[in-house]
């Protein structure tokens, strides 16, 4: 079990697009396990490799204990419903602040598993929101960028104040 340090907002690495995974080996499986351990310790329900400073397209989600954790390698949205929903979002890289973000109600993604096998999944509700949120992160788009400038500035000020008090 390895819990890795999480990069904090506004680290510039969070704004850099991640590279596709091309090698499917024990190193990738170890990265996926480290992501899961780090996410659980944070705590969170989703994490990407860039959150721990690894610029690869890897996502781990664990939305409930019944389904267990899922790893998505090189995920891409292939379809999104026209219907939209609002959902409260935050980030393990910016703990303590969150706000409502508008997302597609349903999405279909294609991805690879840790062995390199192609998969697809259609999701709705929270899982669809998480897919969109984490794929945005892999593309270098931090969730705050989906908010109005005023909301974004308020949240950044709140986050900075919270973390100044802990230093």
CATH of the domain at 105: 3.90.45.10
- pLDDT at residue 4 above 60? yes
In a domain, 3, yes or no: no
In a domain, 40, yes or no: yes
Catalytic amino acids? 134
Mean pLDDT over the full length of the chain: 96
Cβ count within 10 A of residue 154: 14
Is pTM beyond 0.85 here? yes
Predicted pLDDT of residue 32: 98
In a domain, 46, yes or no: yes
- pLDDT at residue 165 above 90? no
In a domain, 155, yes or no: yes
| Rounded mean pLDDT, 54-80 | 96
- Rounded-to-integer distance, Cα 56 and Cα 21, Å: 6
Predicted pLDDT of residue 167: 56
Overall domain count for the chain: 1
Q: Which residue(s) pair with 89 in the sheet?
A: 99
Phi-psi region of 154 (alpha: psi -120 to 50; beta: other; left: phi over 0): alpha
83-120 residue pLDDT tens: 999 999 999 999 999 999 999 999 999 999 999 999 99
């Amino acid at each position: 079990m390895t819990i890795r340090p999480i990069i904090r907002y506004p680290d510039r690495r969070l704004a850099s697009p991640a590279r596709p995974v091309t090698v499917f080996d024990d190193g990738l499986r170890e990265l996926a396990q480290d992501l899961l351990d780090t996410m659980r310790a944070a705590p969170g329900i989703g994490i990407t490799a860039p959150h721990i400073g690894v610029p690869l397209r890897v996502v781990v989600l664990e939305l409930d204990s019944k389904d267990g954790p899922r790893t998505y390698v090189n995920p891409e949205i292939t379809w999104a419903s026209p219907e939209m929903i609002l959902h409260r979002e935050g980030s393990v890289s910016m703990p303590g602040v969150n706000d409502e973000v508008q997302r597609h109600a349903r999405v279909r993604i294609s991805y690879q598993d840790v062995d390199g096998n192609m998969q697809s999944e259609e999701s709705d509700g929270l899982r669809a929101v998480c897919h969109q949120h984490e794929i945005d992160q892999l593309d270098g788009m931090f969730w705050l960028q989906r908010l109005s400038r005023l909301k974004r500035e308020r949240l950044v000020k709140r986050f900075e104040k919270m973390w100044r008090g802990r230093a």
